[in-house]
Amino acid sequence: MDEKLQAFNDRVRGLRAFDAFPKLAPSNTVRSTRGGYSTIFLMVGIFFLVWIEIGGWIDGEIDHQFFVNDQVGKNLQINMDIVVAMPCNFINTNVLDITSDRLLATDYLTYQGINFFIPENYLVNIPGQPIKTPEIDEIMRESLLAEFRELNNDKNSGAPACHIFGSIPVNRVSGDFHITAKGVGYLDRSSVPIASLNFTHVISEFSFGEFYPYLTNPLDFTAKVTKEQKQSYQYYMSVVPTTYKKLGVELQTYQYSLTEQDKLFKDLRLNHIPGIFFKYDFEPISLLIQEKRISFIRFMTRLITICGGIMISFQWFYKSFDQILIFLFGKKFAQRGQEKPKTLLDQDIKTNIE
């Protein structure tokens, strides 16, 4: 029984002494200044890359996808805030789409007589804002829903300019919103004298869908100034439904590209009508912009792989650099700054002293 117990204890001691990853004894390692600096450089590099990877995983990546739009015929609204340099009682506003559905914008918009002015920092007689897709963080930060304030119409105030603002419900098909003068090009009970026409205008807002006042669109903060009475301004817009998704929050917006055309007519007839025309067309595609990130397990696997690859690559580089130094300058030069290894004589002297 004692022999079996002794054999079992020997096996246990053997297992305790077992090392699956054997290491060099301290007496067989050589320290050097170059090796110490290399280790510090390696650790700093790994820390920097790990920091970048963690930041990239937290921020995620932005994914853009295009889909065929299947929402044909769905209604939406056009939001506008425009000042025209003519009295409100001179102005006529209408919407006409390809289904021949005509909408009197007067029933939905608010008209206020004011003095005409152009605010600072507006683009005057310059094409609209550059076309760009806003960053998803900017969209989420500025996506504050709002509504235009409700005021009574004041068309007959006698003010020299008219402030037109509000939202118009329209069909989701190609159409045209226009601002013209009464009796000029269209039949009306009253007619504005040609000498009184002035389609100088300022656009502070022109957007589609829900009204987000802090999101900038191509026509926002622009102005057109003219001294001609028979001037026509035409804006052609291609509208794309755009959905933003981040952290479970979904935001539906509409972006549009813009082409502008100005015309000065010599005479007035059926196709020569001065005014401001907004022609819009909805593209058959929609854009989805969403923030994605890989799973935590995949992220950790990637992080470990990167760190391991850097360490192995650096080890190969260090050995190759050491061999190059030996080849060019000799072994003695390459071993400068190394700690001298202990010899058997040094160990015997230390033992005798103890």
For the chain, the domains span 25-58+295-353, 66-292
Residue 28 DSSP symbol? G
Q: What pLDDT score does 73 carry? A: 59
How many Cβ atoms sit within 10 Å of the Cβ of residue 151? Answer: 12
Looking at residue 16, what is its pLDDT?
Answer: 57
pLDDT in tens, 128-154: 555 555 665 666 565 555 566 666 666
Tokens for 142, please give them. Answer: 């500025």
CB 113 within 8 A of CB 158: yes
pTM score, two decimals?
Answer: 0.66
Contacts of residue 237, defined as CB under 8 A and 6 or more positions apart, other chains included, come to 256, 257, 258, 259, 278, 279, 280, 281
Q: Kindly give, in sequence order, each residue whose CB lies less than 8 Å from that of residue 180, ignoring residues fewer than 6 positions away.
A: 91, 92, 93, 94, 186, 273, 274, 275, 276
The pLDDT, as a whole number, for residue 313 is 82
The label of the residue with tokens 């020569």 reads 272
The pair of three-digit structure tokens given for residue 260, joined into one six-digit string: 């502008």
Euclidean distance between CA atoms 26 and 341, whole angstroms: 10
Mean pLDDT of successive 10-residue segments in the chain (354 residues)?
A: 62 56 52 67 83 76 78 80 93 88 86 91 76 60 60 72 92 91 76 89 93 85 91 93 80 89 81 90 86 79 84 80 70 57 51 50
Q: What pLDDT was estimated at residue 44?
A: 84
**Measured distance CA(48)–CA(344) in Å, rounded:** 43
pLDDT of residue 306: 83
264 three-class SS: strand
- Its sign, for the CA torsion 120, 124, 130, 134, is positive
Run of H or E including 93: strand 91-97
Q: Which of 280, 281, 263 is nearest to 272 (CA)?
A: 263
Pairing mode of beta strands 102-104, 91-97: antiparallel
Q: Is 235 helix (H, G, I), strand (E, B) or coil?
A: strand
- Closest C-alpha among 217, 219, 289, 220 to residue 251: 289
- Look at residue 126 in the predicted model and tell me its pLDDT: 78
pLDDT confidence of residue 349: 47
Cα gap 224→126, rounded to integer Å? 8
Q: Which of 2, 182, 8 is nearest to 87 (CA)?
A: 182
